[in-house]
Every structure is written in C-alpha cells, then in structure tokens.
C-alpha cells in the first residue's frame, strides 16, 4: 500500500555516508527516491556528507555533525518509513539501523545485528561455517602484523569490513602481498587473507516480504577478466548473465545456501549473497545487507528476471519495513 488512513506515506531516503562508498550510495539513493516518487510515495531525501554532516536535498543542516544530526532527526520523525541507502561502514554496518531503533522508526532492511555481522567478512565466515556453508580457507590479521606476514601461496587480500571491493587485491608473490596488505589497511585495521577459489562468480538475491516469507530471485553470473574488483564493478567492463546458465541442481544448491545464510545472519529487507560455484558446490564469498540498488545493479536485475520491476521491488521493501529490534511479522 502506498497510502493509508493518513493518506500518502512519507519515506525518508538516506544516502551518502562518511566512507569510501559515498558516491555509490548517492547513486543508489537517487534511484530509490526516483522509483518511490514514481510509485506514488511522498519522498524526502537526506544525505550524510563525507565529513559526517547531514543535508536535506541541497540544504546543509549544519556545519557540525551533532547539530546537523539533530536537524535530520526532525525530518526522520515526520517519516512513516526510513529507507537507508548508505553502503559500507557507518551505514550498512547497522549504524543507521541503531539510529532508527532508538527513534522507534520503521526502517527498510536488516537490523543492527545482521548489518554488523554481514559487514564483517570474518564474522560472516564464522556464521557461514557454523551453518554448514563452505567458505574460502583464510585467516584474520591486523595492520600491526603486516611486517611479520610471509607469503605462502596466491591469496586474495581484503579489508574485514569494507564494501564495493575497496582494498581488495590478488597477491601472487611476497611483494604483491605486502602492497595488498598496506592497501587493505587503509580501509580497516583488520584484514582477511583468503585462499584463491577457482569457480564461477554467482550472486543470489533474497527478499523478505511483509508477511515474513523470503524467497530468492534467479541467480546472476558475473563475467569479468580476473578479479571482480572495484574498477571492474564500475568501469563497465564486467558482464552479467541473469538467469545464470546453470543446471537445476546447482541452482537449488545456491538458492538453499543463500536462504540459509540470510536466516543465519537474521537479515531483513533484501540481501545479496555472493558465491563461487565450484565443482564441489557453492562457496560463500560475502553478504551485502544493503547492496547496490540502482536499476542496473545486480539485485534489481535478478528480481526483474523474476518479474518484479524496480518500482515494485522498492515498494515491497517499504511494505516490509519494521522497527529494528522488533520481531518480523511471521509468515502464514
């Protein structure tokens, strides 16, 4: 429903963020706001600047973080639902979910716990392994340990908590490993070193509906030359196939693993679960609890393949919004 007893519902879309994914988040927030307006919602737009100050449209809400946040809360107070479209730290990691929980404001997406676990790649691995989902063998190190780490074999190096593949690199020798570790340390002092997994890169999007039912869209395959890093994600060189050209058994295994991971983390709204499909089945790569959401992003493409348009997808997400920390509506 777009309206109700009080008329048109007011949705506050939050974009930006004080992190490396600021520009990506702006694109997501703009696309979401446009789709909601087209769908008949009353939309207000807030942006978190790179310096942590808040804006309403093109108007600065203050020159310092706390006064501008207080002004933003006045806008949020008048909203029926908050749609946080901030990727990465200080947004997707549960920060905005905590803000909405304290304000008792219904919000699209996962709560603090799921956001924090999903943002932390090491924590995600531990949850996955406990749920019986395979992950790449790896180890967690800190930035202070970089000088003592020796090269053993080809490895993928990534910040423990970052998105859009910022700081992710493939290391094939000792020199590349040191450089990759230094680069990753610019985004997080905790760094993950993983064995290289050879397999097809397959994404699965999972949506939780307002009645608590969750379902997976047709899987999408990423075709990229080499590592699907930040450059490949945004320079247009990568190609996507949706539905992915996989057999029924592989699709069933990927879907089952994605749903199990969604539930294990306690996700809500929509999440993108990324896998490598190997000869021994799916291997989890990572989970995105607030994935890219422009109309051309992977998640909307997957739901479009299931017959759910972009406008319908964002409307479903608004309909399923809950106050963070409160139980989701149970399924029938």
Burial profile 203-212: b = 16 or more Cβ within 10 angstroms, e = fewer: bbbbbbeeee
* Residue of 180, 176, 154 lying closest to 167 (CA atoms): 180
**Is the pLDDT confidence value at 1 over 60?**
no
Q: What is the mean pLDDT of residues 146-169?
A: 87
* Interatomic CA distance for residues 82 and 123, integer angstroms: 27
29 in a domain, yes or no? yes
Lowest mean pLDDT among 4-8, 133-137, 146-150, 218-222: 4-8
329 in a domain, yes or no? no
User: What are 81's strand-pairing partners?
Assistant: 11
Q: What is the mean pLDDT of residues 310-322?
A: 97
* Interatomic CA distance for residues 53 and 26, integer angstroms: 15
225 in a domain, yes or no? yes
CA distances from 308 to 83, 216, 242, 303, 311 (A): 19, 12, 14, 5, 8
> Domain holding 142: CATH number?
3.30.1490.20
78 in a domain, yes or no? yes
pLDDT single digits (tens) 28-78: 999 999 999 999 999 999 999 999 999 999 999 999 999 999 999 999 999
Structure confidence at residue 327 (pLDDT): 64
- State both tokens at 283: 């291997």
Structure confidence at residue 324 (pLDDT): 87
Structure confidence at residue 261 (pLDDT): 98
* 3-state DSSP assignment of residue 140: strand
CA distances from 232 to 8, 86, 259, 296 (A): 40, 21, 27, 15
Structure confidence at residue 173 (pLDDT): 94
Q: What is the mean pLDDT of residues 193-200?
A: 95
pLDDT single digits (tens) 288-310: 999 999 999 999 999 999 999 99
Residues 128 and 46 reside in one and the same domain: no
Residues 157 and 305 reside in one and the same domain: no
332 in a domain, yes or no? no
Whether omega for the bond prior to residue 243 falls within 30 degrees of 0, making it cis, is yes
Give the rounded distance of the alpha carbon of 69 from its chain centre.
23
Residues 202 and 87 reside in one and the same domain: no
Angle value at C-alpha 224, between 221 and 228, nearest 5 degrees: 90
Pairing of strands 10-16, 42-48: parallel
Residues 210 and 260 reside in one and the same domain: yes
Residues 19 and 148 reside in one and the same domain: no
The residue ranking higher by pLDDT, 161 or 95, is 95
Residues 54 and 74 reside in one and the same domain: yes
Report residue 236's pLDDT band, with 50, 70 and 90 as the boundaries.
low
Contact in structure between 79 and 96 (CB atoms under 8 Å)? no
Report residue 228's pLDDT band, with 50, 70 and 90 as the boundaries.
low
The residue ranking higher by pLDDT, 246 or 231, is 246
Structure confidence at residue 166 (pLDDT): 80
Structure confidence at residue 225 (pLDDT): 74
Q: Of 150, 180, 195, which residue is a domain's last? A: 195
* Interatomic CA distance for residues 303 and 258, integer angstroms: 15
Residues 156 and 172 reside in one and the same domain: yes
328 in a domain, yes or no? no
Q: Of 157, 175, 195, which residue is a domain's last? A: 195
Contact in structure between 306 and 237 (CB atoms under 8 Å)? no
Contact in structure between 151 and 181 (CB atoms under 8 Å)? no
Q: Of 195, 218, 234, which residue is a domain's last? A: 195
Structure confidence at residue 235 (pLDDT): 52
Q: For residue 154, what are the domain limits?
A: 138-195
Structure confidence at residue 92 (pLDDT): 92
pTM of the model: 0.90
CA distances from 89 to 117, 122, 125, 152 (A): 12, 15, 18, 31
Structure confidence at residue 330 (pLDDT): 46
* 3-state DSSP assignment of residue 256: helix
Lowest mean pLDDT among 67-71, 211-215, 323-327: 323-327
Structure confidence at residue 329 (pLDDT): 52
Report residue 84's pLDDT band, with 50, 70 and 90 as the boundaries.
very high
- DSSP per position, 41-75: -EEEEEEE-TTS-EEETTEE--SSHHHHHHHHHHH
280 in a domain, yes or no? yes
Report residue 4's pLDDT band, with 50, 70 and 90 as the boundaries.
very low
What are the backbone angles phi and psi of residue 166, rounded to the nearest 5°? Answer: -65, 130
Residues 67 and 205 reside in one and the same domain: no
> What are the percentages of helix, strand and coil residues in the chain, rounded to 5?
35, 25, 40
Structure confidence at residue 238 (pLDDT): 73
> Domain holding 292: CATH number?
3.30.470.20
330 in a domain, yes or no? no
Residues 215 and 270 reside in one and the same domain: yes
Q: What percent of the chain has pLDDT over 90?
A: 83
Residues 292 and 168 reside in one and the same domain: no
Residues 170 and 291 reside in one and the same domain: no
> Domain holding 64: CATH number?
3.40.50.20
Radius of gyration (C-alpha) of the chain in whole angstroms: 20
Domain count, the chain: 3
Residues 125 and 254 reside in one and the same domain: yes
pLDDT single digits (tens) 111-154: 999 999 999 999 999 999 999 999 999 999 999 999 889 988 99
């Amino acid at each position: 429903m777009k309206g109700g007893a009080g008329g048109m519902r007011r949705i506050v879309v939050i974009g930006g963020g004080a992190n490396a994914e600021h520009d990506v988040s702006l694109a997501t927030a703009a696309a979401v706001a446009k789709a909601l307006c087209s769908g008949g919602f009353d939309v207000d737009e807030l942006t978190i600047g790179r310096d942590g100050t808040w804006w309403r449209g093109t108007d600065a809400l203050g020159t310092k973080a706390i006064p501008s946040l207080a002004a933003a809360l006045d806008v949020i107070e008048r909203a029926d639902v908050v749609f946080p479209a901030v990727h990465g730290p200080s947004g997707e990691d549960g920060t905005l979910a905590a803000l909405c929980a304290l304000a008792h404001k219904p919000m699209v997406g996962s709560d603090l716990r799921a956001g924090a676990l999903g943002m932390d790649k090491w924590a995600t691995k531990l949850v996955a392994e406990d749920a019986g989902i395979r992950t790449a063998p790896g180890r967690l190190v800190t930035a202070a340990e970089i000088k003592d780490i020796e090269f053993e074999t080809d490895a993928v190096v990534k910040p423990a908590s970052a998105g859009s593949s910022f700081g992710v690199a493939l290391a094939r020798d000792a020199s590349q490993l040191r450089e990759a570790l230094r680069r990753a340390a610019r985004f997080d002092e905790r760094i993950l070193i993983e064995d290289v997994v050879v397999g097809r890169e397959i994404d699965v999007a999972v949506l939780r509906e307002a009645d608590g039912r969750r379902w997976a869209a047709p899987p999408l395959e990423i075709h990229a030359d080499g590592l699907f890093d930040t450059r490949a994600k945004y320079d247009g060189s990568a190609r996507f196939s949706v539905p992915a050209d996989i057999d029924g058994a592989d699709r069933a295994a990927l879907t089952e693993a994605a749903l199990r991971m969604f539930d294990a983390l306690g996700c809500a709204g929509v999440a993108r679960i990324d896998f490598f499909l190997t000869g021994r089945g799916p291997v989890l790569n990572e989970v995105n609890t607030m994935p890219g959401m422009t109309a051309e992003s992977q998640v909307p493409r997957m739901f479009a393949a299931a017959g759910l348009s972009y406008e319908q997808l964002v409307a479903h997400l608004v309909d399923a919004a809950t106050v963070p920390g409160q139980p989701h509506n149970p399924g029938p």
